[in-house]
Chain A
Amino acid sequence: MNLTLIIPEIFLFLWALLILFVDFFTAEEKKHRLGPLSLVGIVITVVLVVFSGQGQAFGEMFSADYYSLSFAIIFLGSAFLAICTSIDFARERIKHQGEYYALILLSTVGMMFLAASRELLSMYVSLELTTISLFVLSAYLKTDLKSSEAGLKYMILGAASSAILLYGISLLYGITGTTVLKGIQAELVGSAFPGPLLVISLVFIIAGFSFKLAAVPFHMWAPDVYEGAPTPITAYLSVASKGAGLAAMVRVFFGSLLPVTSEWIPLFMALATMTMVLGNIVAIRQSNIKRMLAYSSIAQVGYILVALSAASELATTSMILYLLVYMFANIGAFAVVIAFYNHSGTDEICEYAGLSRRSPFLAISLVIFFLSLVGIPPLAGFVGKYLLFLAAIQKGYYWLVGVAVLTSVISLFYYMNVVRQMYFRKPTKNDPVKVSWSLRLALVLSLIGVIAVGVYPDPFVSLISKAASVFVY
């Protein structure tokens, strides 16, 4: 057994306990310092992840490879940015700050294990560690009815989807006699005809994971939870929890179910189409910016599913790169929303009128993040979407890419609506919006990410393509 491989995970777990421990002896008015303390833990974990070796541990269960490495960095990065955006929000509006940061770190530990597991049950357990922490975090504003509702809805639907996923896993185990992904693949190559049981188990597994990804028609929890949860948690949910679902899904489907692609590719194409169309069209009608971003993040998953149905090495590369790009743009956009909320206490889009005069920095940042989400060159979103669509075109899915491009154009409409409010409407108030150091840090890091990946994507693509070569296509 090679325990050195899980040192980063162990370290982050102990750091979460350390946060709880320090919390015992910290006076209430100094508790906001636990935020920077958790940031330190994340930075050390990133170093450990990069320099820890590669290999397998616990039999076939745990595998530290380029795939888990790149996902771990994305998860740690989004936890870092989410905590940066949390510090002021938590100080003003949240009780029990120690547990808040510890839970974010614990759910990140779950995600790291998830990306590294190559066995269905360890994958499921890590998924639970991730989501149970997130249930608590979404209900964190105890006195806010919407937040409690968000937590309850997320928990009930999350539990139901986990049950569905587990049922699918049990059927797959019944067919192949193993929960190890490699073993499943070997069994499926041998069998001549997959049979109805396999289709049923695939449907259950896809439904279970699609809940976590918030793909249509399994998206109904997302807007309510995103609106009710504390905004930094929404930012974290919309990137990291989706990333975790994606990491597991790609590992399962590209790592074990490639021999039966004809059974699941049509399903993903249907999911992708519905997700892109519904997410983008419903987003137009939203007047609350958190709900708008919720539907926009549903739509973004649709683009990722386009590549998932392509099932090639380029597809994996493009999905991981897009997740990275999406992390910067989406958490960046949420950082602006949080900065505005901390100042004015509202999330309504109409209140953003004249923001360009009240805080030019926030306004221009939001414009850049939105343009990246739409996919305008030279920002990172363009590179991401280009690779996603290229993967689908290589497989000849022209109509799917057509839908994706058309819905991207629709998305321009609702993003630009916010921009119109900020730049072409007169402000109702004139006080400048102040931005604290931690939010500024999150914004600047996201801006650098969005621009750097967009202008010079080569190093990122070559690193991530190593992750994609983990699977044999």
Chain B
Amino acid sequence: MPSDYAYVGLFLIFGVAFVLITFFFARLLRPSRPNPIKNRSYECGETAVGSAWVQYNVSYYIYALIFVIFDVELVFLFPWAAAYRSLGLFAFVEMFIFIMILVFGLAYAWRKGALKWV
């Protein structure tokens, strides 16, 4: 029924209006006392140096990627280790396979020279 699709339009209008109205009321309610220190861009408490529009070395990206993989591995390892006694052999084998896949990933990264800082 075509009239049903009017809901899609309503939904769209509501979605946009919701954001605008929230911003509008926030502007009405909040105090506005800007000062130079407040307006500075936030960099984890450090004083900002230079522009953010510089090229980063692509090696950072590869390191970050490898770090994330092993970070996520830990997220899976902790609950498994905590519930190890009740999970039994099957979970052990499954975790072993999971870690083996990650080890292959590490071997791959190593072999391809991703761990070397160029």
- Complex Cα–Cα for A319 and B5 (A): 27
Interface string of B6-50 (1 = CB under 8 A from A): 011011000000000000000000000000000000000000000
Chain A residue contacts of B5, Cβ below 8 A: 199, 203
Minimal Cβ-Cβ distance residue in B for A203: B8
Pairwise interchain contact A200-B8, C-beta atoms closer than 8 A: yes
- Complex Cα–Cα for A263 and B5 (A): 9
Chain B residue contacts of A200, Cβ below 8 A: 7-8, 11
Pairwise interchain contact B7-A199, C-beta atoms closer than 8 A: yes
B104: interface (CB < 8 Å): yes
- Complex Cα–Cα for A263 and B7 (A): 13
Minimal Cβ-Cβ distance residue in A for B6: A196
Pairwise interchain contact A24-B4, C-beta atoms closer than 8 A: no
A window 1-25: CB within 8 A of B: 17, 20-21, 24
Chain A residue contacts of B11, Cβ below 8 A: 196, 200
- Complex Cα–Cα for A266 and B2 (A): 9
Pairwise interchain contact A199-B8, C-beta atoms closer than 8 A: yes
B window 86-118: CB within 8 A of A: 101, 104, 108, 111
**Closest-CB distance, B34 to chain A (whole angstroms):** 34
Pairwise interchain contact B111-A263, C-beta atoms closer than 8 A: no
Chain B residue contacts of A17, Cβ below 8 A: 101, 104
Interface size classification for chain B:
10 to 19
Number of A-B residue pairs having CB atoms within 8 Å of each other in the complex = 24
Minimal Cβ-Cβ distance residue in A for B104: A17
Pairwise interchain contact B8-A20, C-beta atoms closer than 8 A: no
Chain B residue contacts of A263, Cβ below 8 A: 1, 4
Known A17-B104, A262-B1: A24·B8 in contact at CB below 8 Å? no
**Closest-CB distance, B45 to chain A (whole angstroms):** 31
Minimal Cβ-Cβ distance residue in A for B101: A17
Tell me which of B4, B7, B108 has the highest count of chain A C-beta atoms within 10 A of its own C-beta. B4
Interface size classification for chain A:
10 to 19
Chain B residue contacts of A199, Cβ below 8 A: 4-5, 7-8
Pairwise interchain contact B111-A196, C-beta atoms closer than 8 A: no
- Complex Cα–Cα for A8 and B111 (A): 28
- Complex Cα–Cα for A263 and B2 (A): 9
Chain B residue contacts of A24, Cβ below 8 A: 108, 111
- Complex Cα–Cα for A20 and B2 (A): 53
**Closest-CB distance, B111 to chain A (whole angstroms):** 5
- Complex Cα–Cα for A98 and B5 (A): 49
- Complex Cα–Cα for A17 and B108 (A): 10
Chain A residue contacts of B101, Cβ below 8 A: 17
- Complex Cα–Cα for A20 and B108 (A): 8
**Closest-CB distance, B70 to chain A (whole angstroms):** 18
Chain A residue contacts of B10, Cβ below 8 A: 196
Tell me which of B10, B11, B104 has the highest count of chain A C-beta atoms within 10 A of its own C-beta. B11
Minimal Cβ-Cβ distance residue in A for B100: A17
**Closest-CB distance, B67 to chain A (whole angstroms):** 19
Chain A residue contacts of B2, Cβ below 8 A: 266
- Complex Cα–Cα for A266 and B7 (A): 16
- Complex Cα–Cα for A21 and B108 (A): 8
- Complex Cα–Cα for A17 and B101 (A): 9
Chain A residue contacts of B8, Cβ below 8 A: 199-200, 203
Pairwise interchain contact A196-B1, C-beta atoms closer than 8 A: no
**Closest-CB distance, A6 to chain B (whole angstroms):** 13
Pairwise interchain contact A196-B7, C-beta atoms closer than 8 A: yes
- Complex Cα–Cα for A168 and B47 (A): 43
- Complex Cα–Cα for A24 and B110 (A): 11
**Closest-CB distance, A23 to chain B (whole angstroms):** 9
Chain B residue contacts of A196, Cβ below 8 A: 4, 7, 10-11
Minimal Cβ-Cβ distance residue in A for B110: A24
- Complex Cα–Cα for A411 and B85 (A): 65
A window 230-266: CB within 8 A of B: 262-263, 266
Chain A residue contacts of B104, Cβ below 8 A: 17, 20-21
Chain B residue contacts of A262, Cβ below 8 A: 1
- Complex Cα–Cα for A24 and B113 (A): 11
A residues within 8 Å of B by Cβ?
Answer: 17, 20-21, 24, 196, 199-200, 203, 262-263, 266
Pairs of residues from A and B, 6 with the lowest C-beta to C-beta distance, nearest first: A196-B7, A199-B4, A24-B111, A203-B8, A200-B11, A200-B8
- Beyond A203-B5, A263-B1: 14 further Cβ-contacts under 8 Å? A17-B101, A20-B108, A21-B104, A24-B111, A196-B4, A196-B11, A199-B4, A200-B7, A200-B8, A200-B11, A203-B8, A262-B1, A263-B4, A266-B2
Interchain residue pairs with CB less than 8 A apart (19): A17-B101, A17-B104, A20-B104, A20-B108, A21-B104, A24-B108, A24-B111, A196-B7, A196-B10, A199-B4, A199-B5, A199-B7, A199-B8, A200-B8, A200-B11, A203-B5, A203-B8, A263-B1, A266-B2
